[in-house]
Amino acid sequence: MTYNWTGADLNKDISVKVFDNMGKLLLNRTLQEQPEGSLDISTYAPGMYFFQFENGDKTEKKIK
């Protein structure tokens, strides 16, 4: 999965959390000042996942 975080404060780290459809936290990672990039989710079983991106005052959620 690729991501592009527009409007983020690029001087702050970005926290990424991935949850499964039951709310279980699968990934908790800090991306240091990377507004674009990719997350390898190829090892996850097919299904619905919730992605939460945060960097201080901005939070964005995505469903894949």
pLDDT tier, 59 (very low <50, low <70, confident <90, very high otherwise): confident
Domain that holds residue 44: 2-63
Count of domains for the chain: 1
In this predicted structure, what is the pLDDT of residue 10?
64
Angstrom distance (rounded) from CA 64 to CA 34: 20
Could you tell me what percentage of the chain is helix, strand and coil, using 3-state DSSP and rounding each to the nearest 5? 0, 50, 50
Per-residue pLDDT tens for 13-58?
888 899 999 999 999 988 776 667 777 888 888 889 998 888 877 7
**Per the structure block, which two tokens stand in for 48?**
């619905």
